[in-house]
Amino acid sequence: MIEDKNQQRTPLSELGEFKLIEHLTQHFKITQETTIKGIGDDAAIIDIKDKQIVVSTDLLVEGVHFDLSYVPLKHLGYKAMMVNISDICAMNAKATQVTVSIAVSNRFPLEALEELYAGISTASKLYNIDVIGGDTTSSTSGLIISITAIGEVNANDVVLRSGAKPNDLIVVSGDIGGAYMGLQVLEREKEVFKVNPNSQPDLSMYTYIVERQLKPEARKDIVDLLQQLNVKPTSMIDISDGLSSEIIHLCKQSNVGCDLYENKIPLDPQVISTCEEFNIDSTTIALNGGEDYELLMTISQDDFPKIKGNPNLTVVGYITEKDRGMHLVTRGETKIPIIAKGWNALGENIE
């Protein structure tokens, strides 16, 4: 589907492990003053001084988290970084360093890994993050990417999942459901391609949602915005598995309930039109589709004037006492219990 225009294929066996690491990481520059020692010793060294450190890790497996028949390797490298940076953003922290480990089968030539690392490199430059270490090894099948992200935060600024209080407003950044619908479009085109390998997919109608799927952005800008607005959320989580799954996490860990308003959920027009085309309910997608990497947070009502009218932040409901339960208030004003059916790496419902 996506044609490989790079015809050069250097077998990894020509390099060996150490030369491969050296080759792939040669263009990574250290920019964080907290990075004392990056790649090249047994461990990297960081000196954060008076801040706290946040650490998050994610494992992406070919055939489970991504399909290389329509995901370009460069985008994959970029996205793998975003998945981890997003977790650091969800702590209201600033990502500063990452370690990147990959396992690859010998079906990948060097040029493929160069593409993957080009995406990682782009992300590290754009988000001002040092790649300080990693491991490169072979796998018996497919590609596995494991990234650990490290960030810094003032102890007073940390936002956990557990701080939501009754009457707090529930706020979502950006819009949701796009990444999932982008995946549906790509999966459909893959099926068409299987039947007719000469077909040229026209994705121009789906640019936004396909980009949401292939090249998501971690909402570092929202963390910066909140600081500018002088708003410290009472709780926060990133939306990787779908809104319903994430709001359940926040409510359970905060020991509260919630009312979420269907008509408030921010959807891009392309999500709505594609849902209509696929004959899927857009609210279901917003609740259960994953990989949007937006931030879901709760804020005190006192902070509402500060975020009011901001196009990046949408109030979608409010926190209630725990015994009120977790509900979606539909357009028809019926209340239905929220159940997580989000993207699940092990393939089942969470509840």
Q: Which is nearer to its own copies, 58 or 211 (CB)?
A: 58
- For the bound state, the minimum distance from the C-beta of residue 201 to its own copies, rounded and expressed in Å, comes to 26
Q: Is 77 annotated as a binding residue?
A: no
Helix H or strand E segment including 248: helix 243-254
Q: Is 342 annotated as a binding residue?
A: no
What are residue 98's DSSP bridge partners? 131, 149
Q: Which is nearer to its own copies, 150 or 209 (CB)?
A: 150
Please tell me what DSSP assigns to residue 207: H
The count of C-alpha atoms lying within 13 angstroms of the C-alpha of 105, restricted to the half-sphere facing its C-beta, is 7
Q: Which is nearer to its own copies, 74 or 161 (CB)?
A: 161
- For the bound state, the minimum distance from the C-beta of residue 25 to its own copies, rounded and expressed in Å, comes to 13
Instruction: Say how far apart CA 341 and CA 339 lie, in whole Å.
Output: 6
Helix H or strand E segment including 184: helix 178-195
What are residue 323's DSSP bridge partners? none
Instruction: Say how far apart CA 201 and CA 284 lie, in whole Å.
Output: 27
Q: Which is nearer to its own copies, 99 or 283 (CB)?
A: 99
Q: Is 240 annotated as a binding residue?
A: yes
- For the bound state, the minimum distance from the C-beta of residue 70 to its own copies, rounded and expressed in Å, comes to 17
- For the bound state, the minimum distance from the C-beta of residue 145 to its own copies, rounded and expressed in Å, comes to 9
**100: helix, strand or coil:** strand
Q: Which is nearer to its own copies, 126 or 350 (CB)?
A: 350
Q: Is 139 annotated as a binding residue?
A: no
Instruction: Say how far apart CA 25 and CA 68 lie, in whole Å.
Output: 22
- For the bound state, the minimum distance from the C-beta of residue 162 to its own copies, rounded and expressed in Å, comes to 8
Q: Is 161 annotated as a binding residue?
A: yes
Q: Is 58 annotated as a binding residue?
A: yes
Q: Is 219 annotated as a binding residue?
A: no
- For the bound state, the minimum distance from the C-beta of residue 329 to its own copies, rounded and expressed in Å, comes to 25
Q: Which residues contact 330 (CB under 8 A, 6 or more apart)?
A: 262, 283, 336
Instruction: Say how far apart CA 42 and CA 39 lie, in whole Å.
Output: 9
Whether the Cβ atoms of residue 147 and residue 95 lie closer than 8 Å to each other:
no
Q: Which is nearer to its own copies, 141 or 227 (CB)?
A: 141
Q: Is 56 annotated as a binding residue?
A: yes
Strands 130-138 and 143-153: unpaired
Q: Which is nearer to its own copies, 174 or 268 (CB)?
A: 174
Instruction: Say how far apart CA 237 and CA 170 lie, in whole Å.
Output: 11
- For the bound state, the minimum distance from the C-beta of residue 91 to its own copies, rounded and expressed in Å, comes to 5
Residue ranges of the annotated binding site for substrate are: 65, 291, 343
Residue ranges of the annotated binding site for ATP are: 117, 134-135, 161, 240
Residue ranges of the annotated binding site are: 42, 56-58, 65, 87, 117, 134-135, 161, 238, 240-241, 291, 343
